[in-house]
A and B are shown apart, each in its own frame.
Chain A
Amino acid sequence: MKRYVAKRVLHSLFIMWLVATTIFVGLRVLPGGPVQTMLGIEGNEAAVQALRNELGLNQPLYVQYLEWMGGLLTGDMGTSITSSEEVSVLVQQAAPRTFSIAIVGVTSGLLVAIPSGIISATRRREPVDYVATVASFLGISMPAFFIGIVLALIFGVWFNILPVFGYTPLSEGFVPWLKSIFLPGIAVGLPYAAIVMRMMRSSLLEEMNQQYMRTAKAKGVGGKVRLYKHAIQNAFIPVVTVAGIQLALVLVGSVTVEIVFGIQGLGRLLVNSILDRNYPVTQAVILIVAGVMVFTNLVVDLTYTVLDPRIRYGGDSA
């Protein structure tokens, strides 16, 4: 198992290195180069050279590369072109907002999806199953930002129960924080819940039809034990995969939903930096998101070792 964990960690580090290198190359190889685009039409040769100097683009490639990698390791991602603030500071302000939304989304999504998936599978073809199936179909068909607008309209404009604009940091108390990100979190969580629920349902249905379930019944194992100890535990393995893969959906959802609710998170930062051609900020945000994705992938892989004993025991002997 140790070997498996080590292998997965090394693999994640390799992917992160690949991502950072791609961003480095992408910035330098593309025709025209971002410097020209940054300055626009009025950028004459002298201005281009000046900016290239400032960004360190005139140094030999290997020096630039080492500096870029060294900067990343020490958390130094350069300075923003438009505001001359440290990029790392900007990201540190924005990231907690986006991740708060994503965390509320994942938590609420799983809390809805797993029980409803189990209920739907165990009461197949009953009304509750039909309701859940239709609801999940609707859930996967609505983009998070649309759900966000609908929620803002209902709870903010029509009933005025929850705030629909701005963010309250966690340091000002848990309840105000939760209130400010509750609606965006739900908006992100619903499509996620729909996908996970569909997987939970189909995976559990499949497990319940397996031979070992019949054997367990023949041995006289009680219904609850059969369901919870046998079927659900095995059914969870594909659910974890899907729940992990679809974290991308939550993250992308958070980036769009925060704009609906006027929260200045990574999405705002990314969009503004792209429109302002503020490359240091753009690459930092992309790198952060990619880093989170690689990290969650690692966590999902490690979760398998807990859920699937074949990996736990097989990994050592292999």
Chain B
Amino acid sequence: MSDVPKRGNSQVFGANEVPSEYETEETTEEYKGLSNRIVDVMLSDRMALFGSVVVVLFIVTAVFAPVISPYGQEQTFTSMQSPNSYSTGDFDDDGARERIWHPLGTDSFGHDILTRVIFGARVSLMVALATVAVAFTLGTAIGLLAGFYGGWVDSVLMRYVDFQWAFPEIILGAAIIAFAGGLGVVNVVLAIGIAYIDDFARLIRGEVLSIREEEYITAARAIGMQNRRIMTREILPNAVAPLIVQSTLMIPLAILAEAGLSFLGLGVKPTTPTWGLLLSEGRQFISQGWWISIMPGLAIMVTVLAFNMLGDGLRDAFDISEQEVNE
């Protein structure tokens, strides 16, 4: 037992031993799976942690809006109540008077603002996810083809990107709504989604250009893999990290764009409670009841802030440079 030399005992050299003073410290970073890496960054980065908590809360609120919200979205109480006040009266026709608490006040119609804001989260989440899905699908397809084939496909894409630059999202949205002739969720999703295609297309094109030169792509070609398979099975999975980060950073932009269109009155139908619409309705009552427009505005702000912080955290976790993914 004792004749087995211990490592670091400089007096006895085994065949593979190096004197300790010549030993170079070799630190290989322990390999961590993707999910572990994300969890690590989230826990160490307080901003990202805050972001992910708020994002989860936002999603839960949006999904369970009818359960969480204190009252119905069309229920009306005493109008223009300030935050943290009560309206008393018989609001459910049972002959008895109730005292109803309004943590965020009521608007000019008497809707409870907290309830409206909670239901607004639904529209915002739905539109944002659908928008990013549209932009993600079309943009990734276009960028993948352009990057992979190069040549004229690529030139056409780059001209398209230049062309789309001429239309800021809300203007493009307004144009699509004008030409398609009507308001509605589908038009809003299409309008904002199309406006973000170029962000995904450019990103994935850049990724493909570098991945295309990797040896495993040559290997895939050598074994006779078809182009379509190379694109979907070899290139796309290796470009997934920046795509995830980009999607996370596009969601807050989509929320802002939807709010902007709704604010202009070009979004979803006027009676639907969306944050942009609630804000715009409150604008005319700014001197009588500031809370009507400020509360939905704060909801937009907190949600967008949380998504931005989460996106930044993810970007660090995946180790992607700021230039690569653009906001």
Contact = CB atoms under 8 A, between A and B. Distances in A.
B165 A297 contact: yes
Contacts of A146: 279, 297, 300-301
Contacts of A150: 294, 297
Contacts of A18: 159, 163
Query: Which of B169, B282, B327 counts the most chain A CB atoms within 10 A?
Result: B327
A108 interface: no
Contact of B279 (A137, A149, A270, A286): A149
Interface stretch (B1-9, B60-68, B216-224, B303-311): B303-311
A293 B179 contact: no
Nearest to A149: B293
Contacts of B162: 11, 15, 297
B264 interface: yes
B174 interface: yes
For the residues of A in contact with B, the DSSP-based class is helix
A34 interface: yes
A16 B178 CA distance: 20
A274 B290 contact: no
B155 to A, nearest CB: 12
A232 interface: no
Q: How large is the interface on B (under 10, 10 to 19, 20 to 34, 35 or more residues)?
A: 35 or more
Contacts of A23: 175
Interface string B253-280: 0001001100111100000000010011
20 contacts: A26-B175, A37-B181, A137-B308, A145-B280, A149-B279, A153-B290, A238-B323, A252-B168, A252-B170, A256-B263, A256-B264, A270-B174, A282-B174, A282-B178, A286-B171, A286-B174, A290-B171, A293-B168, A294-B165, A297-B166
Given A150-B297, A157-B290, 4 more contacts: A142-B304, A270-B171, A286-B178, A293-B167
Interface of B: 47, 159, 162-163, 165-171, 174-175, 177-181, 252, 256, 259-260, 263-266, 276, 279-280, 282-283, 286-287, 290, 293-294, 297, 300-302, 304-305, 308-309, 322-323, 326-327
